[in-house]
Structure 1
Amino acid sequence: MLRTLIVGLGRAGLGLHVPVLLKARAQAPGAFADRPVVAVDTRAASTGRPRRDLVIADSLRQARELLDPAHTVVHVCTPPSVRAEVLRDVALLGFTKVVVEKPLATDGDALRRVLAVVRDHGLSLSVVAPWLHSTLTERLIALVEDGKLGTVRTVTVAQHKPRFRRSLANSGHSSAFDVEVPHSLGVLLQLLGDAEVREASCTDLTLGESTVPRMGGARLTLQHHGGARSEIVSDLTAPLRQRQITLDMTGGTVVGHYPVGQDDDFAQLETARAGRTVREIFEDDALTSFMVRAYRRWASGPGEDDLWLHVRTAELLDDAKRLAVRNIDCWEPLTHVS
């Protein structure tokens, strides 16, 4: 059974990973050790009051003294700008099983550094990608594969939410492409296969006299090698939350609604053909499902991972950023990884 070390106790580490891990333990007790989660964070204020299910170590080295690397999963919940460095630090202490927050990397140079650490230290990486483990995504894939609604012509994704305070506080992201878009981009690659970026743009977030460059929203259009076209639109200044995916198929239309928050983990699926629409509502706790599958895979052996999908997602995001700011020398060219 596996124990857990969390590096970084911000919103992702303390707000998402800790409660989801406690829930996942109840679903897969054979994969999770019944011991407190160990965490490391340089910001003492972020840890809150002491908890019986959480042990705070002063450093990674002290955490190593509390844990056996061979039976520990490390959750890297620090900003992507320092990802390679943190991965190297945990690898040098003997840890090899690592969960990392999305995106895997924010530009080509960062991706190369991350992959070099993975290769040099033999790390087994699992990128947090709830939508790839979502029940809604599984149903969409099944609808496409069974062919009853024909072939896919276009897919559009709307990922909107108000994100003013975190963006103004500089939460670690430098582009709206890195916030919501990675979730759906991986799904599009699963549904429609590999693709190339055709159009991309982003906007600044402006509130009063404050402006955060490239954090207002992002738009991305892909041409998939199989012939379909897809578009992702993400507005981080929207008044309401929306996570919707629409498949226009030769025999009908499919509209999926992913859960928009932790407080209500239900998804919806609407299938329309021949003038008749069928609506389904079902539980879809994708983040817990992701955690359970990751730990079960490591508990049973090395297994196969989907790192290639996250590498390709990072490559396409880098392409989109460079296209969106092609007149500004902000992004280094990316050599694609085969």
Structure 2
Amino acid sequence: MYRTLVVGLGRAGTGLHLPTLDRLRKGTRAGTLFAGAPMVAVDPVPAPATLPPGTVRLPTLELARAELDPQRTVVHVCTPPDGRDAVIERLARLGFVNLLVEKPLTADTAQLTRIEDLRRQYGLRLVVVAQWLVSSLTGRLKDHVATGEFGALRAIRVVQRKPRFSRSLATSGHPTAFDVEIPHALGVALDLAGPARLTDAAWSDLRTDVAVRPRLGTATLRLTHEGGASTRIASDLTAPVRERRITCEFTEATVVGHYPISQDDGFAQLAVEGREFTKREVFPDDALPEFFRHAYQRFADGGEFGIDLAARTVRLVDEAKQLCLLRERPTPLPAGAVRDAG
């Protein structure tokens, strides 16, 4: 049985992790997976937040350490990805080793290297939240790839659209649009089609009539997988509508899946169009609670934990950002060139 500590009371902490955990605890027999003691939440900013009844809110990690047994606590790290390495180091120094980290693991490869060092140094059992990987929809797509019933997988296209103006203008925890939704989709693409190299990337600003947030509007990346398939992932955080769509093109059919777009409706859809048939399925796909349940069970069973897929995702996203930055820089004049003083 494990206590729960949620670090960071922004959108992920208060809107996703705590309410999902509250539902899981109520639906799980007491004393089997989750400890009966209250959940603990830490955020140094005294901002208003609606927490599940009974949750103990504390201002510092040190006070949480006095309340909890670090070895018997799962820490949900819900702070922004930029600076995640510093948060994980503080937790490790306080003795916490069971960490469930909100995606993406971190914002760049330098912080990733530091986290990998901390993981080895302190024996951290670290899991990155990736509910799309345990989604029923993703599972069905993986089955189609594995069985080969529709032939070889040739291409993956992911489109993610949602309006994110208020949060992008109010906070600075996600440096670019690549850090918001892209990591979920990228993890799925790598899981379906295997390792890949980046071939192209682009981003744009988020603009309103009164403000601009650089690089937080759209993000697009293209990959070529070692097995020959290609992937294109496009995320638009300025769209007026919501959509999470994945299209897998096989040699004999096209499969289109729609992930749930919010916790308001936990159903996914899958449509298959072949040369001589079509079919459509609609099924429950509330993946986040299942991901949490599996993670807590692995902690309890002493299972092995790896961050290889999460690390590959961070490296590819960081490479995409660097490519975009390179294109933004002025091209230097060749040696000996004369500027036009016009």
Q: Compute the TM-score of the two structures, normalised by the length of structure 1.
A: 0.94
Query: After TM superposition, where is structure 1 displaced by more than 3 Å over at least 4 residues in a row?
Result: 26-29
- Is this contact kept in 2: 1:35–1:53, CA < 8 A? no
Residue in 1 aligned with 2:186? 185
Sequence identity (%): 50
What is the SS of the residue equivalent to 1:325?
A: helix
The 2-side partners of 1:269 and 1:51 are apart by 34
Q: CA deviation at 1:52?
A: 3.5
1:24 is the counterpart of 2:4: no
1:264 is the counterpart of 2:265: yes
Q: CA deviation at 1:63?
A: 0.9
What is the SS of the residue equivalent to 1:80?
A: coil
The 1-side partners of 2:195 and 2:27 are apart by 34
What letter corresponds to residue 311 of structure 1 in structure 2? A
What letter corresponds to residue 326 of structure 1 in structure 2? L
Residue in 1 aligned with 2:322? 322
1:154 is the counterpart of 2:158: no
Q: CA deviation at 1:28?
A: 4.4
- Is this contact kept in 2: 1:194–1:224, CA < 8 A? yes
The 1-side partners of 2:104 and 2:48 are apart by 22
The 1-side partners of 2:47 and 2:217 are apart by 29
The 2-side partners of 1:160 and 1:59 are apart by 36
Structure number, greater radius of gyration: 2
**Greater mean deviation of Cα atoms: 53-62 or 229-238:** 53-62
The 2-side partners of 1:194 and 1:184 are apart by 14
What letter corresponds to residue 105 of structure 1 in structure 2? T
Q: CA deviation at 1:4?
A: 0.3
The 2-side partners of 1:157 and 1:281 are apart by 19
Q: CA deviation at 1:23?
A: 1.9
Residue in 2 aligned with 1:12? 12
**Greater mean deviation of Cα atoms: 180-189 or 102-111:** 102-111
What letter corresponds to residue 223 of structure 1 in structure 2? T
Q: CA deviation at 1:243?
A: 0.3
1:43 is the counterpart of 2:28: no
Structure 2: 5+ residue stretches without partners: 330-342
**Greater mean deviation of Cα atoms: 188-197 or 124-133:** 124-133
Residue in 2 aligned with 1:292? 293
* Deviation per residue, 1:30-74 (Å, 9 max, x gap): 2111221011111222334x7533001232111111111111001
Residue in 1 aligned with 2:334? none
Structure 1: 5+ residue stretches without partners: 330-338
**Greater mean deviation of Cα atoms: 181-190 or 22-31:** 22-31
What is the SS of the residue equivalent to 2:79?
A: coil
Residue in 2 aligned with 1:334? none
* Deviation per residue, 1:152-205 (Å, 9 max, x gap): 111100011011111111341111001110001000011000000001000011
What is the SS of the residue equivalent to 1:279?
A: strand
Q: CA deviation at 1:119?
A: 1.7
- Matches of residues 190-209 of structure 1 in structure 2 within 5 Å? 190-209=191-210
Q: CA deviation at 1:254?
A: 0.3
What is the SS of the residue equivalent to 1:81?
A: coil
Residue in 2 aligned with 1:110? 111
RMSD: 1.4
What is the SS of the residue equivalent to 1:143?
A: helix
What letter corresponds to residue 10 of structure 2 in structure 1? G
Residue in 2 aligned with 1:333? none
Residue in 1 aligned with 2:333? none
* Deviation per residue, 1:181-236 (Å, 9 max, x gap): 00010000110000000010000111114111100101110000000001001111
What letter corresponds to residue 274 of structure 1 in structure 2? R
The 1-side partners of 2:328 and 2:121 are apart by 34
What is the SS of the residue equivalent to 2:227?
A: coil
The 2-side partners of 1:255 and 1:269 are apart by 6
- Matches of residues 302-321 of structure 1 in structure 2 within 5 Å? 303-321=303-321
Residue in 2 aligned with 1:78? 79
What is the SS of the residue equivalent to 1:46?
A: coil
1:3 is the counterpart of 2:37: no
- Is this contact kept in 1: 2:131–2:287, CA < 8 A? yes
1:151/1:97 CA distance change after superposition, 3 Å? same
